[in-house]
Amino acid sequence: MNDCTQTAKRRAVLRPEAREAPESGIVEVFNYGRNRPGLIPLWVGEGDLPTPGFIAEAASRSLAAGETFYTYQRGVPELREALARYHERTYSGSFSPERFFVTGGGMQAIQIATRMVAGTGDNVVIPGPCWPNITAAVGIAGARAVTVPLAFGNAGWTLDLDRFFDAVTERTTALFINSPANPTGWTASRSDLMAIADFAEKRGLWIIADEVYNRFFYDGYRAASFYDFVDRDSPILFVNTFSKNYAMTGWRIGWLSAPPALGQTIENLIQYSTSGVAAFMQRAATVALDDGDAFLDEQVTRARRGRAIVCDGLAATGKVRLAEPSGAFYLFFAIGDETDARRLALRLVDEANVGLAPGTAFGDDSGFFRLCFARKEDDLTEAVRRLSEWISRRFGSS
């Protein structure tokens, strides 16, 4: 048997959850245009600022002090205390450090949360289009992600709650709520969240609340949160990350917030996956939380300016469908009546030298693109100029 046949045979016996894990449609376009000179990359979900020095220096100090050993699976006590302080400042009421678990990015928090509440034969209901890593994590856990489409109209992206609840079956074990949402910016109101929590309580469902963009909200200090009204022991698993607030996407550190009674289970799941996050990263994260408010405010201000540049600029072409998002840092928009966003995203790399993520990567097949506006004004202004020129070449000016 030659090598190829052997590999094919082995592949056939791979677990379907692994074999069928989808390739990310964002990464596909990113790889296509990665090294183009002068390309403005707006495809990935991160800003253009590096991690501030005061955060990075805390990691260097920790390394220099020899903090290079195995550490607490749940996170070092100082970081869990800083998380409690951050939550007390940001939301009302008190938070026990015992409810925080430090993870390898928000992504590992999603993995752990999903594995805790969904497995073979189960399904998880989620508004879509959504970040593909969420549906993929559900699939890898052996469960099925059932997406309920948000509607796009004059009011922007909206979720019909009756339709959302109708998607729940006896196989549903959890609702996954990402608000503010990637890629649409859809942001649940407090009354939406209350209705969802009430429904979940009545049906005995878990909620996984991905609130990583909670502070990237443009109609107030922060978006509504389940923390605003549920009691601390409610069956809600909160996913969060240092990536967005503190420009730390490459560090891979986040947190899961859950009722402390789940502590031993979560500790075990961390122990048998990463065994914990490096201590020096946790020192940096502690400083980020304690001293990073001004940096975070500046990032939100910058994103707000970025949002205005891309929304006003693209709306002026008269050829795009868009609604100004109230949260997160993405514009999800469509160009003309194009529906093949994957093909068009590749063309935009070649013909406009701008990198956008195709909506197909998020489960949308109606021609939308995601553009990340957490970037300096000059780049965004230039990207809008290039896109507008491309649009008028293709569709004529309005």
Ligand X SMILES: Cc1ncc(COP(=O)(O)O)c(C=O)c1O
User: What is the CA angle 239-240-246, rounded to 5?
Assistant: 170
For 252, phi then psi, to 5°, come to 70, 65
Backbone CA torsion sign across 303, 311, 130, 132: negative
**Does the protein bind ligand X through residue 373 (CB under 6 A)?**
no
- Only one of the segments 76-84, 99-107, 317-325, 382-390 lies at the binding site for ligand X (rule: CB under 6 A); that segment is 99-107
The DSSP code sequence of 307-340 is HHHHHHHHHTTS-EE----SBSSEEEEEETT---
Choice between 302 and 386, CB closer to ligand X: 302
**List 212, 230, 289, 371, residue binding ligand X (CB under 6 A):** 212
What is the closest distance, in whole angstroms, from the C-beta atom of residue 10 to ligand X in the complex?
Answer: 30
**Does the protein bind ligand X through residue 245 (CB under 6 A)?**
no
**Does the protein bind ligand X through residue 107 (CB under 6 A)?**
yes
What is the closest distance, in whole angstroms, from the C-beta atom of residue 111 to ligand X in the complex?
Answer: 10
**Does the protein bind ligand X through residue 184 (CB under 6 A)?**
no
**Does the protein bind ligand X through residue 178 (CB under 6 A)?**
yes
User: In the chain, which ranges are E strands?
Assistant: 40-41, 100-103, 123-128, 144-149, 151-153, 156-158, 172-178, 206-210, 236-241, 254-257, 320-321, 330-335, 354-355, 357-358, 368-372
**Does the protein bind ligand X through residue 241 (CB under 6 A)?**
yes
Choice between 285 and 391, CB closer to ligand X: 285
What is the closest distance, in whole angstroms, from the C-beta atom of residue 107 to ligand X in the complex?
Answer: 3
**Does the protein bind ligand X through residue 179 (CB under 6 A)?**
no
Kindly state the number of chain residues that form the binding site for ligand X, as judged by CB under 6 A.
14
Q: Check: CB of residue 181 under 8 Å from CB of residue 210.
A: no
167 burial (CB, 10 Å; 0-12 / 13-18 / 19+) is middle
| Per-residue x/- track, 309-348, ligand X (CB under 6 A) | ----------------------------------------
Closest CA to 86 of 198, 249, 206, 215: 215
**Does the protein bind ligand X through residue 280 (CB under 6 A)?**
no
| CA atoms of 175 and 49, how far apart (whole Å) | 33
Strands 330-335 and 156-158: unpaired
Which residues, at least 6 apart from 120, have a Cβ–Cβ distance to it below 8 Å? 142, 143
Question: Which residues 108-147 are close enough to bind ligand X by CB under 6 A?
Answer: 131
Question: Which residues 38-57 are close enough to bind ligand X by CB under 6 A?
Answer: 45
What is the closest distance, in whole angstroms, from the C-beta atom of residue 336 to ligand X in the complex?
Answer: 27
**Does the protein bind ligand X through residue 186 (CB under 6 A)?**
no
What is the closest distance, in whole angstroms, from the C-beta atom of residue 239 to ligand X in the complex?
Answer: 6
- Only one of the segments 2-10, 18-26, 92-100, 239-247 lies at the binding site for ligand X (rule: CB under 6 A); that segment is 239-247
Residue 141 structure tokens: 């856990």
Which residues, at least 6 apart from 231, have a Cβ–Cβ distance to it below 8 Å? none
Name the residue type at position 42: L
**Does the protein bind ligand X through residue 97 (CB under 6 A)?**
no
What is the closest distance, in whole angstroms, from the C-beta atom of residue 385 to ligand X in the complex?
Answer: 27
Q: Check: CB of residue 287 under 8 Å from CB of residue 55.
A: yes
Residue in the structure block whose two tokens are 């990340």: 372
**Does the protein bind ligand X through residue 182 (CB under 6 A)?**
yes
- Only one of the segments 19-27, 69-77, 201-209, 237-245 lies at the binding site for ligand X (rule: CB under 6 A); that segment is 237-245
**List 41, 97, 127, 254, residue binding ligand X (CB under 6 A):** 254
**Does the protein bind ligand X through residue 243 (CB under 6 A)?**
yes
**Does the protein bind ligand X through residue 249 (CB under 6 A)?**
yes
Choice between 107 and 205, CB closer to ligand X: 107
Which residues, at least 6 apart from 285, have a Cβ–Cβ distance to it below 8 Å? 55, 79, 82, 102, 242, 246, 248, 251, 253
**Does the protein bind ligand X through residue 225 (CB under 6 A)?**
no
Choice between 135 and 388, CB closer to ligand X: 135
Site for ligand X, rule CB under 6 A: 45, 105-107, 131, 178, 182, 210, 212, 239, 241, 243, 249, 254
